Structure 1
Amino acid sequence: MSETAAEAARPTTPQNAFRGVLGRLNLSTWAGIAIVVLLVLAAIFAPYLATHPPAKQSIMDQLAPPGGGYLLGADQFGRDIWSRLLFGARYSLAIGLFAILTALVIGSLIGMTAGYRGGRTDILLMQVMDVILAFPSLILGLALVALMGATMTNIVIAIAFTATPAFARIARAAVIAQRDREYVQACRAMGFSGGRILFRHILPAILPEVMVMTSLWMATAVRTEASLAFIGLGLAPPTPTWGGMVREGFENILSSFHLALFPSLAILILVLAFNLIGDGLRDAIDPRLKDAS
């Protein structure tokens, strides 16, 4: 009996949890991963790929069309669009990454605690999360940034705050599905603490589901940051952000549509890539969802 309990209580490693998932990823998912990797590399090596300093202005080259000395043209201040796209990718990816990682950690802790303990703790924590979920994420993020100020830290906090309830709910549901299984009961019978059961045994089992939510909310974070910048609540100029570039481009949309076109395409491609990754991970975790659709 003790050997059976010990074997059942042996923790599942994250490597084992993801090995089967990675083997079932489809081609579109790998395409999404490749796009994200390329954009990350472009952001990292932006100083080497940029043809001009992103904030350098040239009055003689205002609204220059694509080609010549400017690969994607120049904006109304004569700044190189290609260079600003590369450096803008740093801010879009960094804000999305830090915001979603913050929401992932805080939301997962809340959800795991609520799901494992149940009772009043579960009710109280989930009611708080439901109150936050009652507000549209963009409107709530807009209100928070307007109150705190449009700095990079505040934008990260605002986006993380809106995303935390989603991670809490997915983690809670996954923990509830695991907490009464045999390996968890074996851990309790062996006297393991609740923290050890949660983080060494249950957490690896729910990681794939949490990672699906992470990739999907990365797309939401990028859209939210771009939306905030578009309405004037993003990082202050001359910091290059994709949403800010779209906003500036709309001032000359009739004469120089490429000013708004290229940053819009960048946002579209990045959001599409994260959605492809999220959908592929979801289908790999539960192939029945793919067959049902």
Structure 2
Amino acid sequence: MTDTVSAPPAAIARKGRVRSFVARLNLTTWIGLAIITSLVLLAVFAPVFATHAPSRQNIMDPLIGPGGDYLLGTDQFGRDIWSRLLFGARYSLTIGVSAILLAMVVGTLIGMIAGYLGGRIDIIFMQVMDVVLAFPALILGLALVAMLGATLTNIIIAIAFTATPAFARIARAGVIAQRDREYVQACQAMGFSGPRILFRHITPAIMPEVMVMASLWMATAVRTEASLAFIGLGLAPPTPTWGGMVRDGFDNILSAAHLALIPSMAILVLVLAFNLIGDGLRDAIDPRLKDTG
């Protein structure tokens, strides 16, 4: 009773909004969250669940099918596919999440500044973003990785660079929609500084749309990383990555199709999970989209 009375009205209203938002999440969102949570746990505890060392070669057991001592079989070098799949999840999740978080921070900041200040700054910033958007994401990522080198950090930077304009555009649109609202004008009349209005008052209003964009772009980041690895611009062997496993399995697609199909299915499940979360968040933020989508 005392906690309820002493709690600030803003805090109570915030809790009510959070509960209302969670209540609007549909079943597909929870399915996506369950899949992502399961994959994260498998990746974090990969040494526990793995049955063999991911890079250990056994020349006596090449191209073994699923079952027996090897749950999902072995590749052409006798390496355990199940173990490599678990450790490969670490890289796919790390690259996907890190790249999009970086793109979200940088792109949202650019879009917010451009939208709030307007004028020449808006024109310059958005024209730069349009130039980046003119290139297909995969082609641009390929060029950047080829120039920078195929390291974990460089792959994250390359994918983040391709995703930044999308966040800049959605943040700019949100700020433009909010900057003429009455609460912003009231803040200006009270003498609040521009940065305070922008980051303390406008940012919370545009973050839901940015978060939906982030969840959807994480799926794109996973696909881009897998594509780069497939064409030989991923992490260097013997580091296990899902895209690299698909590439290795493609050489034996006729004699051992499971080598390529298993990591391909893993990529499919991860991308599907991110898309389910993104669609669910979009519907929860604006339920009217259910009728139009």
Greater Cα offset, 218-227 or 10-19: 10-19
Structure-2 change in CA distance of 1:125 and 1:167 (3 Å):
same
Deviation at 1:18, TM superposition (A): 4.6
CA distance in 2, matches of 1:16, 1:169: 30
Alpha-carbon distance between aligned partners in 1 of 2:204 and 2:217, rounded to the nearest angstrom: 20
Counterpart in the other structure of 2:181:
181
Q: 1:204 to 1:254 in 2, by over 3 A?
A: same
Alignment of 1:140-289 (within 5 A): 140-289=140-289
Alpha-carbon offset, residue 19 of structure 1: 4.1
User: Structure 1 residue 16: deviation in Å?
Assistant: 6.4
Q: Measured at CA, do residues 25 and 74 of structure 1 come closer, stay the same or move farther in structure 2, by a change above 3 Å?
A: same
Partner of 2:130: 130
C-alpha separation between the residues in 2 aligned to 1:209 and 1:113? 17
Distance 1:177 1:54, change over 3 A: same
Aligned residue identity for 2:182: E
User: CA offsets per residue over residues 186-224 of structure 1, 9 Å max, x none?
Assistant: 111111111111111111111110000000000000000
Give ranges in structure 1 of 5+ residues lacking alignment.
Answer: 1-9
Instruction: Quote the residue 1:55 is aligned against.
Output: 55
Q: How far 1:288 moved relative to its partner? A: 1.3
Identity of aligned residues (%): 77
Cα distance change, pair 141–16 in 1 and its aligned pair in 2 (3 A): farther
8 Å contact kept, 1:14–1:207: no
In the alignment of these two chains, the number of paired residues is 284
Which of structures 1 and 2 has the larger relative contact order (alpha carbons within 8 angstroms, sep 6+)?
1
Q: Secondary structure at the match of 1:56?
A: coil
Counterpart position of 1:139 = 139
Supply the distance in 2 between the matched residues of 1:54 and 1:166 (Cα, whole angstroms). 36
Is 1:85 aligned to 2:89, yes or no? Answer: no
Q: How far apart, in 2, do the equivalents of 1:204 and 1:49 lie?
A: 40
Partner amino acid, structure 2, of 1:206:
I
C-alpha contact (below 8 Å) 1:17/1:205 kept by paired residues: no
Q: Which runs of 5+ in 2 are unaligned?
A: 1-9
Tell me the amino acid that sits aligned with residue 148 of structure 1: L
Q: 3-state DSSP class of the match of 2:281?
A: helix
C-alpha distance in 1 between matches for 2:14 and 2:113:
20
Residues 91 and 177 of structure 1: CA distance in aligned 2, closer, same or farther (over 3 Å): same
Change (3 A) 1:248 1:12: farther
- How much has 1:13 moved relative to structure 2? 9.1
Q: TM-score, normalised by structure 1?
A: 0.94
Question: Normalization by structure 2: what TM-score?
Answer: 0.94
Q: Does 1:44 align with 2:44?
A: yes
Question: For the aligned residues, what is the CA RMSD?
Answer: 1.5
The residue type equivalent to 2:290 in the other structure is: K
Aligned-residue offset at 1:14 = 7.5
Task: Name the aligned partner's letter for residue 20 of structure 1.
Answer: S
The 8 Å contact of residues 17 and 204 in structure 1, kept in 2 or not, is answered as no
**Aligned ranges 1:61-140 → 2 under 5 Å:** 61-140=61-140
* CA spacing shift, 1:83–1:15, aligned 2, 3 Å: farther
